[in-house]
Chains A and B, each alone.
Chain A
């Protein structure tokens, strides 16, 4: 994670999703005060119950933990100028592997290790296609996206396997000192990744690769190796997300696990301020972006909007963000405020 701020004109890009969250919070408060005047807004209320924190803010971080961890790996892949569409399917695979092994009675350590190893392999497979065979990232990861779901179903033989191992269920449902485990784990992953990227030169390499791949290679960067790393990391993250998801519902649903989550992850990254074309990235931005996304979903729920309709505001949000990032919009706005247009090259 880099410490400097990139956007020269709009201050830090992270302010935008933060502002979005603030806006949503205000909307919620306004709605609740209008309908239940005098009562402290449910949306902000955090209480202590059954030995742990309880309330909507807690739910947001709990439910959003899967998207958060996906966004972490996705940020790195997008920063190199690529993309990974297969994370949803890898989630399903990880959940399936875990469920089957748990059913066999294997120890938790073995189960987690195996599931994560398989996910890592999936990521590496993507990396080999992109870095080795020079296949376009969108195409390469599309293959695993399609085949992966079938693989997950094959592993469970099409059944939805119920998981009754308590220790496993802790991942998605447990609490540590009153704080839900899943978001804690994810936060740790973010901090760990940030530290790793800053303590090593990996962060710099990833940004350089996305910024100008030719120049990086001419300067001696082992670009293939870096790409392999980011895709492997993304696969690993998908594995973690898959385990959290399976643990949360106490089942491995190979049909629906991870459905559309790759799109949510991409959305979180883009809204968080990392450009789809690559280069400078911000882990903090992706974190906030994913939280924004989950806040949006929870807002819909709080406002009584049927959950199926939730995608609509998501879409509006993406388009708005894209428009703001668009060169055409900037020129149009600049013309209206009568600033001089840039000269042709």
Chain B
């Protein structure tokens, strides 16, 4: 098999599985393939998608970020509180939230890089802290009756005569394109993969490893904050409970997309397909109505298992070369 093809094998498998699942669902359920439903696939999973992009970049370096769900949840209630309870203008509140998210990520990045703490532990603490802070800001869901928000949440970019793409979907697409370009067409993105491939070598090759690592955690947290903002648009409210378990979903999406958890290998399109697979499964279960929705997590778990074993198989083959 051509080497270029073999490298991309996991990606093709993921894409294939998505198309297969989508085809099966499309045949089984009426209206599954409708434009509205496809658009919903992107919109409903926009927050998860944005987080997954950031998570992919972190995992490229061989790290992990468990705090993203909590940061997203914090952002929603923080923004809602600023706008509703303190009369801050939405754009200002949004900027403040993003800045806070970025700063938080940078802080975690410093602990990981400078103090050489395992990313798992640091971001775990980060998750606890952010979630606790979210509850400090507010313990219950807070509406955002701001008029600008209402306008934005109802906005749709017209696609066909009847269907348009709402803002969350658009933002996700923009983030994805940004992530894709960053990962596959900039020096920074290639450096991230290099660090994950072999950090020692990357250092010896003169790459700015420290700065890159702190940067990627900053970016990931900022994207988590953005995901929170997108959720406020989606629900026109802030909820400190938002995002519980979202980091796990993101990790599952990334792994199913073919990115190795050990770092150094992966493709952002894989994450996209992983997201679509997850979305399709959940969507199909909803359409079905008869199948228990819990099959969702089980199928995801099985997919994870399958992909991990596939990855191990491929790894063993390349090592033997």
Query: 1/0 contact trace for B128-150 toward A, CB 8 Å?
Result: 11011101100100000000000
Q: Which of A83, A143, A306, A315 contacts B125 (CB 8 A)?
A: A315
Q: Determine whether A323 belongs to the interface, using a CB cutoff of 8 Å to chain B.
A: yes
State whether A306 and B135 are in contact (beta carbons under 8 Å apart), knowing that A151-B298, A311-B128, A314-B128 are contacts in the complex.
Answer: yes
- B122-A319 in contact (CB<8A): yes
- A309-B292 in contact (CB<8A): no
Query: 1/0 contact trace for B187-212 toward A, CB 8 Å?
Result: 00000000000000000000000000
Q: How far is the CA of A242 from the CA of B118 in the complex (A)?
A: 29
- A312-B128 in contact (CB<8A): yes
Q: How far is the CA of A157 from the CA of B294 in the complex (A)?
A: 8
Residues 69 to 103 of chain B near chain A (Cβ within 8 Å): none
Residues 291 to 321 of chain B near chain A (Cβ within 8 Å): 292-302, 304-305, 308-309, 312
Query: 1/0 contact trace for B239-266 toward A, CB 8 Å?
Result: 0100010001001100100000110000
- A158-B132 in contact (CB<8A): no
Residues of B within 8 A of A138 (CB): 64, 120, 261
Nearest opposing residue in chain A for B70, CB measure: A311
State whether A146 and B252 are in contact (beta carbons under 8 Å apart), knowing that A311-B128, A319-B125 are contacts in the complex.
Answer: yes
- B117-A136 in contact (CB<8A): no
- B116-A144 in contact (CB<8A): no
Q: Which residues of A contact B (CB under 8 A)?
A: 83, 133-136, 138-140, 142-154, 157-158, 259, 263, 266-267, 270, 276, 306, 308-316, 318-319, 322-323, 326-329
Residues of B within 8 A of A144 (CB): 301
Residues of B within 8 A of A266 (CB): 124
Name the interface size band of chain B. Answer: 35 or more
State whether A146 and B248 are in contact (beta carbons under 8 Å apart), knowing that A310-B132, A315-B126 are contacts in the complex.
Answer: yes
Residues of A within 8 A of B64 (CB): 138
Q: Determine whether B111 belongs to the interface, using a CB cutoff of 8 Å to chain A.
A: yes
Q: How far is the CA of A68 from the CA of B295 in the complex (A)?
A: 31
Q: How far is the CA of A144 from the CA of B120 in the complex (A)?
A: 18
Nearest Cβ distance between residue A316 and chain B, in whole angstroms? Answer: 7
Q: Which of A139, A151, A267, A312 contacts B261 (CB 8 A)?
A: A139
Nearest Cβ distance between residue A167 and chain B, in whole angstroms? Answer: 29
Residues of B within 8 A of A318 (CB): 121, 124-125, 128
- B308-A143 in contact (CB<8A): yes
Q: Which of A150, A310, A316, A319 contacts B298 (CB 8 A)?
A: A150
Q: How far is the CA of A308 from the CA of B137 in the complex (A)?
A: 11
Interface of chain A: mostly helix, strand, loop or mixed: helix
- B132-A315 in contact (CB<8A): yes
- A316-B129 in contact (CB<8A): yes
Residues of A within 8 A of B118 (CB): 276
Residues of B within 8 A of A149 (CB): 294, 297
Q: Which of B136, B299, B305 contacts A309 (CB 8 A)?
A: B136
Nearest Cβ distance between residue A17 and chain B, in whole angstroms? Answer: 16
- B312-A312 in contact (CB<8A): no
Known: A147-B305, A306-B135, A308-B135. 19 other contacts (CB 8 A): A139-B308, A142-B251, A142-B255, A146-B300, A146-B304, A148-B297, A148-B301, A149-B294, A150-B301, A152-B294, A263-B124, A267-B124, A311-B127, A312-B129, A315-B125, A316-B129, A318-B121, A319-B122, A328-B116
Q: Which of A157, A267, A311, A328 contacts B132 (CB 8 A)?
A: A311
- A147-B298 in contact (CB<8A): yes
In the assembled complex, 16 residue pairs joining A and B whose CB atoms fall closer than 8 Å, in A order, are A136-B261, A140-B308, A142-B251, A143-B308, A147-B297, A150-B298, A153-B292, A153-B293, A158-B294, A267-B124, A309-B132, A318-B128, A319-B125, A322-B122, A323-B115, A328-B115
- B117-A322 in contact (CB<8A): yes
- B295-A154 in contact (CB<8A): yes
Nearest Cβ distance between residue A297 and chain B, in whole angstroms? Answer: 12
Q: Which of B117, B133, B309 contacts A312 (CB 8 A)?
A: B133
Enumerate the 3 nearest inter-chain pairs by beta-carbon distance, A residue then B residue, closest first: A147-B301, A150-B297, A312-B132
Nearest Cβ distance between residue B308 and chain A, in whole angstroms? Answer: 6
Nearest opposing residue in chain B for A317, CB measure: B125
Q: Which of B124, B252, B294 contacts A153 (CB 8 A)?
A: B294
Q: How far is the CA of A47 from the CA of B29 in the complex (A)?
A: 63
Residues of B within 8 A of A270 (CB): 121
- B312-A308 in contact (CB<8A): no
State whether A136 and B301 are in contact (beta carbons under 8 Å apart), knowing that A276-B121, A311-B132, A326-B116 are contacts in the complex.
Answer: no
